[in-house]
Structure 1
Amino acid sequence: MNKKPEILSAKEVAKTRIFRVEELQLKFANGEHRTYERLKAGGSGAVLIVAINEKNELLLIREYSAGIDAYELALPKGLIDKNEAALDAANRELKEEVGFGARDLVELKKITLAPGYLSHKMSIVLARDLYVEKLEGDEPEPIEVVPMPFDDIDAIVARDDFTEARSIAALYLARHFLSQQ
């Protein structure tokens, strides 16, 4: 296994309201020097929730996605607040975006998005034994909740309006986890 490169320096080279670009000066074990850039995550990470109700329906949301200028189906998600545990953040986001809390929460896996360029990490959480509870969220418009049969994962993934890779990965992780029970 290769030895991790030494970070000789790290400096912020650009900043927006939500993004920070960091430049890294690296020295590899073989003596090579390189400059890398990455989007540096702030905060404590994020959660993505696979919520399944008592009818074995997956609770998806439809919301505007500025990156592709379209309304997309996806799983509920959000940032983990400072000093908040991932499972607590998942339950809070579920209440804000879907109008349900969960009595049974399981962290399935922590994933990265594009680890060569992004430092962001996200916890995939399975939520079951749901109960009605709505918290006020920070979305600019009401989020549409779209229940779909959990057993139809392959059909959901095939939809033209369900393209987010994190949501696709989360569905397959949840299906695998549940098949082992």
Structure 2
Amino acid sequence: MTKPKIVSQQLIAETRLFRVEQLGLEFGNGEKRVYERLLGGKTGSVLVIPMLDDETVLLIREYSAGSQDYQLALPKGRMEPGEDPLQAANREMQEEVGYAAKKLEILKTFTIAPAYIQHHTYAILARDLYPQQLIGDEPEPIEVVPWKLSDWDNLVAQPDFTEARSIAALCLARNVLR
């Protein structure tokens, strides 16, 4: 298929965290539509699957403003300018769970609602961990929750384990680790 032609492009709103862009598109059949999308950061983000051993993943529980509750999820964060995904993953792990990894592997790049959000997240499997702490930008200490992958059914049943990226990344990691 031929991509639609962009006939207009305008930034219509901007906050400290978000930018909204309006796109005028013309499709191959002549149809015209106006779309709005959230523009992601220029660098993307990482979601890390830190494996303490072959069976234990380190999850975090931290406050999520979107759900207005504490959520259990994988460590994550934005990539800083000049960082590649593996460097960002190692830094985020050190900030959020107090470990660095000797072995890092990109499993997949995720999008979230690609019809409306221009953003990508690298899911990274981290193994051969060793203690290494960096100070992060979190407003309060993050709870680190070790979880056995063999207890998968109980994990997905947790009412505070709802983030789709974390669930998908752990599914991918479980397949790689088998």
Question: When the two structures are superposed, what TM-score results if normalisation uses the length of structure 2?
Answer: 0.97
Q: How far off is 1:55 after superposition?
A: 6.3
Structure 1: segments with no counterpart, 5+ residues: none
Partner of 1:89: 88
Partner of 1:117: 116
Partner of 1:137: 136
Partner of 1:11: 10
The whole-number CA distance in structure 1 between the counterparts of 2:47 and 2:141 is 19
Structure 2: segments with no counterpart, 5+ residues: none
Partner of 1:175: 174
SS at match of 1:39: strand
Alignment of 1:7-156 (within 5 A): 7-54=6-53, 56-156=55-155
Over the aligned positions, Cα root-mean-square deviation in angstroms equals 0.9
Q: How far off is 1:134 after superposition?
A: 0.1
The whole-number CA distance in structure 2 between the counterparts of 1:59 and 1:46 is 18
Q: How far off is 1:43 after superposition?
A: 2.4
Say which is worse superposed, 20-29 or 154-163, in terms of deviation.
Answer: 154-163
- 8 Å contact 1:43–1:81 — kept in the other structure? no
Aligned pair count reads: 178
Q: How far off is 1:105 after superposition?
A: 0.5
The whole-number CA distance in structure 2 between the counterparts of 1:91 and 1:16 is 29
- After TM superposition, which residue ranges in structure 1, 4 or more long, deviate above 3 angstroms? none
Identity %, equivalent residues: 56
